[in-house]
């Protein structure tokens, strides 16, 4: 960033005319001054210099700040420049006549910015200011002097009245940089990471799930959305109460109830990256810590099926019988069941290593992170692992009931009401069918299959499941009676 002394500026509209006027006045004055300089003695010239600067500052009360595209020692593209580019994208789209367009998000959407020598205005706390763009340097120069490729170097210039100096240099510029970074963050291509042993690999994350498509009771859904949004906006709160800016979610429920889908919906809602941690592939606690350190902020770290990942089901007192690992790590013999992907060496991650991962000192690095565990058997998990503070919010995803069914019907069939809804609602409250099962019946199997046919098929499936359930219950009852009879006979004998 470079703050310039007063100089001429480009023209624009009403305020622009004033600038143009001042500009030409100054140009004239400079010309006269250049001629006078040749005839004036040195002392007089210094004296004149000093007062002429003051005069110019008085008649031209504007300050300019230049933000160059490339700068610094290694001529890296300036962070401030790209933040400003993003910040100005919306005002450029509405104000500038010549625009530049660039592809983002894996060539899926366009970001507009103003073309060179364009100008846009902005307002902050009632203060008006202007941004202009430009380019300097020729292709040949940029190649020979710095390694920025064969591009010319662009710049943005901010022009404002000097009486607003404090406001602009302080709050306004930090607002611009913050907003610009936020826009860039929103436009970025999100990633899904997974660990290959102790290193992260990533692919582009594109999952269509959203909270709109998740079938669950609307109140429960809203509660989760509110919780997530509050978390993402609570940086100051977490700093004030002295807690790391992270939150743990435990999603539990039978298979096919939407746990993995909900994680994708969470990431899409908050625009976070996902780190899908395969715990059995992590060699030991040290590797686990390294993986944690390498995660970025604004991300969700997921451990799916935590009950199957490691033998974490035992109580912590088990660890009293630990044996010392080869690398000096505490090792629980019960945990040797988990193998690394090659099946060669067992994973030596321990429960205490995992607890450290969740809320040890290292877990606070980066900030703004969600940690999500999923399980089908919450009762198998060590209470220490899922206590509040570690897993702050426990969300049960359960069988599909009538409210959840309405969401599925809306999404899959595009209908809000149907005469079969009441029957289906009643049956769903009596039969345990997962949303995955219900969704399967709502998928059209041929182009001619309509909503009526899908719903009738679902009713048949539900009635069948109900009858099966009833006959199983009958069988169990009979068995129970038989065994009671036998017990009575035995007792008599």
> Which residues bind to Mg ion, rule: CB under 5 A?
259-260
- The residue from 120, 183, 215, 291 that contacts ligand ATP (CB under 6 A) is 215
Among ligand ATP, Mg ion, none, partner that 246 touches (CB below 5 to 8 angstroms by kind):
none
Q: Assess 259 for contact with ligand ATP (CB under 6 A).
A: yes
251 three-class SS = strand
Q: Assess 439 for contact with ligand ATP (CB under 6 A).
A: yes
Q: Choose between 130 and 259: whose C-beta lies nearer to Mg ion.
A: 259
For the bound state, the minimum distance from the C-beta of residue 116 to ligand ATP, rounded and expressed in Å, comes to 48
Q: Assess 260 for contact with ligand ATP (CB under 6 A).
A: yes
Q: Choose between 155 and 272: whose C-beta lies nearer to ligand ATP.
A: 272
For the bound state, the minimum distance from the C-beta of residue 216 to ligand ATP, rounded and expressed in Å, comes to 5
Distance CA 213, CA 269 (A): 12
- To the nearest 10°, the Cα dihedral for 79, 81, 86, 88? 150
Q: How many residues are recorded in the chain?
A: 493
- The residue from 176, 214, 385, 395 that contacts ligand ATP (CB under 6 A) is 214
Sole window of 90-98, 250-258, 362-370, 384-392 interacting with ligand ATP (rule: CB under 6 A): 250-258
Query: What radius of gyration do the chain's Cα atoms show?
Result: 33
- To the nearest 10°, the Cα dihedral for 385, 390, 393, 399? -20
For the bound state, the minimum distance from the C-beta of residue 255 to Mg ion, rounded and expressed in Å, comes to 7
Measured in degrees and rounded to the nearest 5, phi and psi for residue 191 equal -125, 150
Q: Choose between 84 and 408: whose C-beta lies nearer to ligand ATP.
A: 408
Which residue has its beta carbon closest to Mg ion? 260
Show the site string, 358-397: x = touches ligand ATP by CB under 6 A, - = not. Answer: ------------------x---------------------
Inter-residue contact 384 to 353 (CB < 8 Å): no
Q: Choose between 259 and 406: whose C-beta lies nearer to Mg ion.
A: 259
Which residue has its beta carbon closest to ligand ATP? 258
Q: Assess 436 for contact with ligand ATP (CB under 6 A).
A: yes
Q: Choose between 274 and 292: whose C-beta lies nearer to ligand ATP.
A: 274
228 three-class SS = helix
For the bound state, the minimum distance from the C-beta of residue 274 to ligand ATP, rounded and expressed in Å, comes to 14
Inter-residue contact 214 to 438 (CB < 8 Å): no
Q: Choose between 224 and 292: whose C-beta lies nearer to ligand ATP.
A: 224
Distance CA 485, CA 109 (A): 73
| CA separation, residue 472 to residues 1, 86, 168, 255, 374 (Å) | 76, 63, 75, 21, 30
Cα separation of the two ends of the chain: 99
| CA separation, residue 121 to residues 10, 22, 264 (Å) | 13, 19, 39
Among Mg ion, ligand ATP, none, partner that 261 touches (CB below 5 to 8 angstroms by kind):
ligand ATP
Going along 361-405, which residue ranges are E strands? 369-375, 393-396
For the bound state, the minimum distance from the C-beta of residue 340 to ligand ATP, rounded and expressed in Å, comes to 22
Q: Assess 256 for contact with ligand ATP (CB under 6 A).
A: yes
Q: Assess 255 for contact with ligand ATP (CB under 6 A).
A: yes
Q: Choose between 187 and 376: whose C-beta lies nearer to ligand ATP.
A: 376
373, β-bridge pairs: 250, 303
214 three-class SS = coil
Distance CA 255, CA 249 (A): 17
Q: Choose between 261 and 287: whose C-beta lies nearer to ligand ATP.
A: 261
| Residue 305 burial (10 A CB sphere; 0-12, 13-18, 19+) | middle
Q: Choose between 148 and 451: whose C-beta lies nearer to ligand ATP.
A: 451
- The residue from 216, 302, 354, 409 that contacts ligand ATP (CB under 6 A) is 216
Distance CA 486, CA 480 (A): 10
Inter-residue contact 251 to 395 (CB < 8 Å): yes
For the bound state, the minimum distance from the C-beta of residue 465 to ligand ATP, rounded and expressed in Å, comes to 17
Which residues contribute to the site for ligand ATP (CB under 6 A)? 213-216, 255-261, 376, 435-436, 439
């Amino acid at each position: 960033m470079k703050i310039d002394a007063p100089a001429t500026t480009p023209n624009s509209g009403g305020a622009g005319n004033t600038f143009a006027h001042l500009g030409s006045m100054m140009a004239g004055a400079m010309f006269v001054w250049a001629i006078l300089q040749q005839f004036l003695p040195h002392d007089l010239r210094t004296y004149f210099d000093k007062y002429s600067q003051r005069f110019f500052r008085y008649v031209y009360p504007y300050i300019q700040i230049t933000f160059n595209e490339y700068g610094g020692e290694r001529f890296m593209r300036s962070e401030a420049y790209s933040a400003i580019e993003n910040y100005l994208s919306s005002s450029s789209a509405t104000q500038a006549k010549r625009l530049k367009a660039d592809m983002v998000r894996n060539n899926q959407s366009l970001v507009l910015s103003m073309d060179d020598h364009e100008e846009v205005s902005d307002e902050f706390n009632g203060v008006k200011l202007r941004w202009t763009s430009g380019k300097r340097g020729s292709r040949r120069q940029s190649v020979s002097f710095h390694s920025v490729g064969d591009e010319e170097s662009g710049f943005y210039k901010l022009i404002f009245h000097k009486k607003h100096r404090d406001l602009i240099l302080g709050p306004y510029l930090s607002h611009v940089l913050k907003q610009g970074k936020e826009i860039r963050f929103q436009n970025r291509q999100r990633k899904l990471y997974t660990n290959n042993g102790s290193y992260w690999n990533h692919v582009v994350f594109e999952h269509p799930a959203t909270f709109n498509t998740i079938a669950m009771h609307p109140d429960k859904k809203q509660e989760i959305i509110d919780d997530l949004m509050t978390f993402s906006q609570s940086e100051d709160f977490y700093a004030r109460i002295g807690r790391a800016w992270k939150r743990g979610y435990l999603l539990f429920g039978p298979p096919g109830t939407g746990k993995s889908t909900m994680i994708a919906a969470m990431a899409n809602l908050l625009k976070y990256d996902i780190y899908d941690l395969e715990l059995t592939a992590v060699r030991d606690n040290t590797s686990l810590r390294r993986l944690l350190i390498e995660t970025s902020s604004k991300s969700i770290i997921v451990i799916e099926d935590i009950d199957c990942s490691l033998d974490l089901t035992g109580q912590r007192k088990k660890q009293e019988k630990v044996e010392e690992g080869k690398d000096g790590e505490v090792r629980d013999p019960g945990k040797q069941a988990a193998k690394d992907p090659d099946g060669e060496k067992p994973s030596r991650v321990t429960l205490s290593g995992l607890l450290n991962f969740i809320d040890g000192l290292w877990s606070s690095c980066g900030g703004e992170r969600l940690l999500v565990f999923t399980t089908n058997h919450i009762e198998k998990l060590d209470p220490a692992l899922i206590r509040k503070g570690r897993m702050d919010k426990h969300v049960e995803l359960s069988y599909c009931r009538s409210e959840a069914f309405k969401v599925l019907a809306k999404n899959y069939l595009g209908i809000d009401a149907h005469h079969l809804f009441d029957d289906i609602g009643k049956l769903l409250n009596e039969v345990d069918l997962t949303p995955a099962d219900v969704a399967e019946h709502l998928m059209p199997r041929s182009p001619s299959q309509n909503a009526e046919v899908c719903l009738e098929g679902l009713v048949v499936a539900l009635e069948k499941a109900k009858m099966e359930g009833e006959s199983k219950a009958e069988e169990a009852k009979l068995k129970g009676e038989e065994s009671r009879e036998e017990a009575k006979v035995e007792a008599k004998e």
